[in-house]
A and B are shown apart, each in its own frame.
Chain A
Amino acid sequence: MKYALFLGCKIPAQLPAYEASMRAVLGHLGVTLVDLEFNCCGYPARNYSHEAFVAAAAHNLALAERAGLDLLTPCSCCFGTLRHAIRFLNEDAQLRARVGQALAAEGLAWSGKTAVEHLLPVLARTVGVDALAAAVRIPHAGLRVAAQYGCHALRPSDVTGIDNAMAPTLFETLIGVTGATPVDWPRRLDCCGDPLHEANTALSERMTQAKIADALESGAEVICSACPHCHLRFDALQAGSPEPSIRTLLYTQLLGLAMGLPAKSLGL
């Protein structure tokens, strides 16, 4: 189990705990992570130029391809963007040719050999639930946890394909492995509001607040995210907010704690 680690831009700059906890957990589970100097996944350019977004994503895919590795990302938005780029490259021969030309100028090429994987299915299927269960030493007995997938990990399912997008169970299974109880919350598949934060702050905050309130009403003690954007958005809204707040954890932190890894190594 060896992957090129694709952290994206958000994690190194604003959420180093995700990187730390991911390395700590995967290191114990026998997954090797290789560091390549990737660039922006292309997500911010999706609203700017269709071609440029695909080209930026393809640059990353080509870097991983040159290293002969599949790409693993803990960021749902990076995951969705890279998967989308593969779809557009496959659909549009003209685009593929133009992007190929730009890559060739950098001494790179994209042929589609590199798979883009999300952290959750790699943990659940490649490492395997049994291996995770065997690694858990201090189960979170009774802890009620709400799973936050991150939209772009789930939808559109014909691009992401990690689970049934309407009724996913993957993350809930992973929470169950740690001994915690996954909570069923009505807004679990809703957007966290992060993509709109700059464009329409008020709307974005209503969306975030609605999710937090829903998780609390559903009896959750923790919102556990698999996307840095969601995690940071929950934290940002709760900082200094008079509304009742909920604890936030990254899945790699929840799992790492259950595995008995020192909190410090998980960025806690």
Chain B
Amino acid sequence: MSPGLFQTALYASLALCGLGLIWRASAWFRVRIGTDARAVTWSGRMAAVFRGTTWVLFSRRLFAVLGALFLDVLLLRRLYTNEKLRWFAHLLIVVGFTLLLLVHALAPIVSAKLFQGYQPTLDPYLFLRDLFGVMVLAGAALLLLGRRPARRELAQTRGRRNTVFMALLAFVLVSGFLLEASKIASPRAFYRMTDQFMGTTDPQTLAPLRALWASEFGVAFADMKQPIDPSLVEQGRKLNSESCAACHAKPASAFVSYQLARMVASVTSLLDEGHADVWLLYLHVFACFLGLASLPFTGLFHVVAAPLSLLINAATQDRALPAQRFSTAGRAARRALALDACVRCGICDLRCSVAPLARYLGNAGLLPSHKLLAIGALAGGRLLRAGHEGEALRAADGAFLCTDCGRCTSRCPVGIDLADLWEAGRSDLAAAGLPTPAQWVQARPALEWGEFLQAHPGLHTLRDTDASRAPLSADRSTFSRCVQCQTCTNVCPVVAHSIDAEHGIDLTPQKVMNLLRLGLRDLTLGSRMVWDCASCYQCQESCPEGIRVADIMCELRGLAVRRLGSVRDWKEPS
């Protein structure tokens, strides 16, 4: 490969990588997640990051951050506590790849300077190169095999961006092994070396060396007579130790490439004629450059974002004063970073407290990794585009059914403050016309909702198609015993605390029961009484007829979410 081409490609890749990194990092100062983040300028975020960094550097918190750098970033502690197998696989890849990068790819500036007499063709480097390569491939294979089958109907969020860089990584490794193998088996490479280092092309002089390299070094000479004369091999050994051994060890220690070389021995002349070692070198090197150039644009970007997330996590874990230590501007930047730091490992989804709800409702939008994507889509303006209404509504359900149990945050292997992200996401959804059900239902009076339902005959009948989902309010015998004695109203704390007309309720519990008796369930669905009910069960406990008033109220709210939700136009909240 000509040095000019190599350098041009290297610098081009480095430039692309650098520009890409700047572009991706700029998102942490641009992307707005949470309504509180909208008031913060990019320069405000810059300042917050600068202040935070300075504070960490000159306080005792520095030790916590250094500890996290070692334990969380280098040793992947948080992944270890979650999934040991995946941790092991990931560590294999990280260690193998880093060592390959330092010892092999950056050999001229690392190995050559660090290790006396470094030659890529000497041991232990021959052996180590293969070992590191095997570590990376084994790690990747473990990750692939260890993938959980998608949990039934809930698709996983693992996207193309991970597949792209994993494929590139595999390509680099495999092409590297093939390149090494083709060179080991290649007679052309043999003659090139003897010409260059012994200064001879004389077949007679080289015959003993050929014998040795054919029998013990894996070179596949097409014209080699079998069986090879042992005495010739012995002569070759002498010649080898004089002329070759100082720079070239037996390649058998490159245990993968050597076996590969033996496997391709029969087609070596074909490979040699086709200059396989040359184009394999091109493929290998350009795949590396492609990986470098595409780093900011594939899932590999997590090697930048995830460590940052972990370090910020360590820097801000101040149990006493998190809010004061961490300004709105800092949180805004951290939220944007979270979108890049997430590796879609799905550990949060597995631990999610509402996962059974997500499965039962068939809405993956309840799961953390899906919520994170939805928040990204909302911030990028993609979620609210026409045609995405269903997706947006599912995201809203996910946001508001979250119980804030914090398990996702405590488990996240890259230290994302998901709890903060969920709160920010809910504020964005509400601002986009997708607030909690209680809010959007109460934005219209009950009568208006009743009229909406009248206009949609499929929704308003009492002869219910989904009686099973509303067993009490659809069954006359539940409430027909009501004698309108008002006991429920008299014991209701919500009625008691409704002090004025503006903040008051529209119906009383006994009126809700009466509407049900009259077959006017539609009129109750949007009523303030139903939605301001605290479900304290005073009414139900006190009802002389044993009517399950509070249970019915619960059911009406669920019914309203579904019925009214299907007729509401959420882009125009009144």
Task: Name A's B-contacting residues (CB within 8 A).
Answer: 8-10, 12-14, 37, 39-40, 42, 44-53, 55-56, 59, 84, 91-92, 94-95, 98, 102, 105-106, 151-152, 154-157, 165-166, 189-191, 193, 195-196, 198-200, 202-203, 206-207, 210
13 residue pairs from A and B, CB less than 8 Å apart: A12-B405, A13-B405, A40-B353, A44-B401, A45-B401, A47-B437, A48-B558, A49-B558, A56-B360, A106-B359, A156-B550, A203-B532, A206-B499
Asked whether B537 lies within 8 Å of A151 as measured between CB atoms, the reply is: yes
Chain B min CB distance to A210 (Å): 7
Asked whether A51 lies within 8 Å of B537 as measured between CB atoms, the reply is: no
Asked whether B436 lies within 8 Å of A198 as measured between CB atoms, the reply is: yes
Asked whether B537 lies within 8 Å of A152 as measured between CB atoms, the reply is: yes
Given contacts A151-B534, A196-B532, A199-B436, 12 further A-B contacts (CB under 8 A): A48-B561, A50-B471, A53-B558, A154-B537, A155-B538, A190-B493, A196-B494, A199-B532, A203-B497, A203-B532, A207-B497, A207-B534
Residues of B within 8 A of A155 (CB): 536-538, 540-541
Residues of B within 8 A of A191 (CB): 493, 534, 536, 538
Of the listed residues A8, A48, A106, A154, the one surrounded by the most CB atoms of chain B closer than 10 A to its CB is A48
What is the CA–CA distance of A102 and B541 in the complex, to the nearest angstrom? 32
Which are the 5 A-B pairs with shortest beta-carbon distances?
A9-B405, A199-B438, A155-B537, A191-B536, A13-B406
Closest to B504 in A: A203
What is the CA–CA distance of A146 and B181 in the complex, to the nearest angstrom? 81
* B532-571 contact mask (Cβ, 8 Å, vs A): 1 or 0: 1011111011000000101100110110011000000000
Of A13, A152, A165, which contacts B404 at CB under 8 A?
A: A13
Question: Contacts A156-B548, A191-B536, A203-B503 hold; do A55 and B356 have CB atoms under 8 A apart?
Answer: yes
Residues of B within 8 A of A10 (CB): 403, 405
Residues of A within 8 A of B352 (CB): 39
Residues of B within 8 A of A44 (CB): 354, 401, 403
- B439 CB–A CB distance under 8 Å: yes
Chain B min CB distance to A43 (Å): 8
Closest to A43 in B: B403
Asked whether A56 lies within 8 Å of B354 as measured between CB atoms, the reply is: yes
Of B152, B404, B436, B558, which contacts A46 at CB under 8 A?
A: B558
Interface of chain B, helix or strand or loop or mixed? Answer: helix
Within 8 A of A (CB), among B434-466: 436-439, 442
Of the listed residues B436, B471, B503, B562, the one surrounded by the most CB atoms of chain A closer than 10 A to its CB is B471
Of A40, A48, A189, which contacts B403 at CB under 8 A?
A: A40
- B407 CB–A CB distance under 8 Å: yes
What is the CA–CA distance of A198 and B498 in the complex, to the nearest angstrom? 16
- B468 CB–A CB distance under 8 Å: yes
Asked whether B497 lies within 8 Å of A40 as measured between CB atoms, the reply is: no
Residues of A within 8 A of B31 (CB): none
- B145 CB–A CB distance under 8 Å: no
Interface size class of B (residues with CB under 8 A): 35 or more
Asked whether A50 lies within 8 Å of B537 as measured between CB atoms, the reply is: no
Of B360, B419, B470, B494, which contacts A102 at CB under 8 A?
A: B360
Task: Name B's A-contacting residues (CB within 8 A).
Answer: 152, 351-357, 359-361, 397, 401, 403-407, 419, 436-439, 442, 468-471, 493-494, 497-499, 503, 531-532, 534-538, 540-541, 548, 550-551, 554-555, 557-558, 561-562
Of the listed residues B352, B401, B439, B499, the one surrounded by the most CB atoms of chain A closer than 10 A to its CB is B401
Asked whether B438 lies within 8 Å of A52 as measured between CB atoms, the reply is: no
What is the CA–CA distance of A237 and B524 in the complex, to the nearest angstrom? 31
Asked whether B152 lies within 8 Å of A105 as measured between CB atoms, the reply is: yes
Asked whether B497 lies within 8 Å of A195 as measured between CB atoms, the reply is: no
Question: Contacts A48-B437, A52-B360, A151-B536 hold; do A92 and B471 have CB atoms under 8 A apart?
Answer: yes
What is the CA–CA distance of A190 and B495 in the complex, to the nearest angstrom? 12
Asked whether A165 lies within 8 Å of B558 as measured between CB atoms, the reply is: no
What is the CA–CA distance of A10 and B402 in the complex, to the nearest angstrom? 12
Residues of A within 8 A of B354 (CB): 39-40, 44-45, 56
Of A37, A52, A207, which contacts B493 at CB under 8 A?
A: A207
Residues of B within 8 A of A98 (CB): 468
Asked whether B353 lies within 8 Å of A92 as measured between CB atoms, the reply is: no
Residues of B within 8 A of A59 (CB): 356
Question: Contacts A40-B354, A56-B357, A156-B550 hold; do A199 and B439 have CB atoms under 8 A apart?
Answer: yes
Residues of B within 8 A of A52 (CB): 357, 360-361
Asked whether B356 lies within 8 Å of A157 as measured between CB atoms, the reply is: no
Residues of B within 8 A of A51 (CB): 360, 468-469
Asked whether B439 lies within 8 Å of A47 as measured between CB atoms, the reply is: no
Asked whether B406 lies within 8 Å of A12 as measured between CB atoms, the reply is: yes
What is the CA–CA distance of A102 and B360 in the complex, to the nearest angstrom? 7
Of A47, A94, A198, A210, which contacts B497 at CB under 8 A?
A: A210
Chain B min CB distance to A217 (Å): 17
Question: Contacts A50-B470, A199-B436, A203-B497 hold; do A9 and B404 have CB atoms under 8 A apart?
Answer: yes
Closest to B561 in A: A48
Chain A min CB distance to B564 (Å): 13
Residues of A within 8 A of B538 (CB): 151, 155, 189, 191
Residues of A within 8 A of B406 (CB): 9, 12-13
Asked whether A9 lies within 8 Å of B541 as measured between CB atoms, the reply is: no
Asked whether A195 lies within 8 Å of B534 as measured between CB atoms, the reply is: yes
Residues of A within 8 A of B404 (CB): 9, 13-14
What is the CA–CA distance of A40 and B351 in the complex, to the nearest angstrom? 11
Of the listed residues B352, B403, B499, B555, the one surrounded by the most CB atoms of chain A closer than 10 A to its CB is B403
Chain A min CB distance to B44 (Å): 26
Asked whether B357 lies within 8 Å of A45 as measured between CB atoms, the reply is: yes
Closest to B530 in A: A47
Of the listed residues A47, A106, A207, the one surrounded by the most CB atoms of chain B closer than 10 A to its CB is A47
Question: Contacts A9-B404, A40-B354, A49-B469 hold; do A200 and B532 have CB atoms under 8 A apart?
Answer: yes
What is the CA–CA distance of A94 and B474 in the complex, to the nearest angstrom? 15
What is the CA–CA distance of A195 and B535 in the complex, to the nearest angstrom? 8
What is the CA–CA distance of A193 and B357 in the complex, to the nearest angstrom? 26
Residues of B within 8 A of A48 (CB): 397, 401, 437, 557-558, 561
Closest to A88 in B: B471
What is the CA–CA distance of A154 and B532 in the complex, to the nearest angstrom? 21
Residues of B within 8 A of A206 (CB): 497, 499
Closest to B492 in A: A191
Chain B min CB distance to A186 (Å): 12
Chain A min CB distance to B557 (Å): 4
Residues of A within 8 A of B557 (CB): 46-48
Asked whether A39 lies within 8 Å of B537 as measured between CB atoms, the reply is: no
Closest to A159 in B: B537
